[in-house]
Amino acid sequence: MSVTQHAEEIHDQFSDQLDVSVDEIEERLDTLVNEYRIPADEARRSVVSNYLDETDMERDDLGGGSNETVEVTTIDRDEQWVDLRVQVADLWEPRSESISQVGLLGDESGTIKFVAFETSDLPELTEGASYALGNVVTDEYDGDYSVKLNRTTSITELDEEIEVGDDNVNVEGALVDMQSGSGLIKRCPEEDCTRVLQNGRCSEHGEGDGEFDLRIKGVLDDGGEVHEVIFDKDATEQLTGIGLEEAKQMAMDALDTTVVADEMAEDIVGRYYRVTGPTLGRYVLANEMEQLGGVDAEATLIRARSM
């Protein structure tokens, strides 16, 4: 993108609040880029910050300008302003009161997590509906990307249906291990923080009461490959038959939360499962699962005899 294009975009973003010409903006950018040798993105950021100060605006208030419309799986940097054309693939239960909606947005390339905040006062998205979303911000946590909707985000429902690409993987094998941090866990109650407490402490927010949740981090191993799988609350209940309320009761009766993981391990370790779901970092998130039963020996027998 040229300095002029950047200048035009910035001009669009501030045209309502600030009487400044494209030329003036371009001159400021040009000074930074060509005299001070600052990368264009940084220069733009600096100029925008300056105008934000002048107009007493917050970065979140910035109007759309013209962002690039991107595919969700191409997002690989945080704090980028982008436009999306997506279908709401999944809505989850928000873990914090400050979050109005959280879930997955999908387009042909795959899916990405999104978060919308109460303070942004946006119309609610409907699961299964397709939208053009203008001006969302990318975010990164632990190498995984998501997008945040904000009060400047434009939401236009589309007549056409955006197809959601299948980035699901299918893994199967014996569940050979249930890792620590499985069973009845506590998550940090701070707003927008879902970290699991270790000994009652959040690595970010320190000591806290925490909110109970269920999760299993399991390892599926087929003798050739190893896959780490995360079962969320619903998937854990489906897998083990133990729901959150029952788990809390078990822990209360035993005065110990680890009884839950022990009981779950007894039910699932050593069994074969097939799990389907999207990948998140090195994990597969279990959306669907089934326990695998016996198999026909015939095909393998034929194979052996033909060798």
Q: Which 117-176 residues touch other proteins, going by CB under 8 A?
A: 174, 176
Candidates 188, 269, 274, 277: give the one binding other proteins (CB under 8 A): 269
Cα–Cα distance measured from residue 72 to residue 106, given in angstroms and rounded to the nearest whole number: 7
Please return the burial class of 298, using the count of CB atoms within 10 Å of its CB with bins 0-12, 13-18 and 19+: exposed
Candidates 154, 194, 279, 287: give the one binding other proteins (CB under 8 A): 279
Q: What is the CA radius of gyration of the chain?
A: 24
Considering only 126-134, 230-238, 253-261, 290-298, which stretch makes contact with other proteins by CB under 8 A? 290-298
Max Cα distance, the chain (Å) = 84
Cα–Cα distance measured from residue 289 to residue 227, given in angstroms and rounded to the nearest whole number: 14
290 interacts with other proteins by CB under 8 A: no
282 interacts with other proteins by CB under 8 A: yes
Give the β-pairing of 81-92 and 68-69: parallel
Candidates 19, 199, 255, 293: give the one binding other proteins (CB under 8 A): 293
How far, in Å, are 222, 223, 224, 302, 303 from residue 307 at the CA level? 22, 21, 21, 9, 7
Nearer to other proteins, 39 or 241 (CB): 241
How far, in Å, are 24, 134, 186, 253 from residue 250 at the CA level? 68, 47, 15, 5
| Phi–psi pair at 203, nearest 5 degrees | -65, -20
225 interacts with other proteins by CB under 8 A: yes
Nearer to other proteins, 1 or 301 (CB): 301
Cα–Cα distance measured from residue 298 to residue 49, given in angstroms and rounded to the nearest whole number: 70
180 interacts with other proteins by CB under 8 A: no
Candidates 8, 190, 192, 221: give the one binding other proteins (CB under 8 A): 221
Candidates 1, 158, 226, 280: give the one binding other proteins (CB under 8 A): 226
Considering only 67-75, 77-85, 246-254, 262-270, which stretch makes contact with other proteins by CB under 8 A? 262-270
280 interacts with other proteins by CB under 8 A: no
255 interacts with other proteins by CB under 8 A: no
Cα–Cα distance measured from residue 239 to residue 134, given in angstroms and rounded to the nearest whole number: 39
Candidates 222, 256, 288, 290: give the one binding other proteins (CB under 8 A): 222
Q: Which residues bind other proteins (CB under 8 A)?
A: 174, 176-177, 219, 221-226, 228, 265-266, 269-272, 279, 281-282, 292-298, 300-301, 303-305, 307
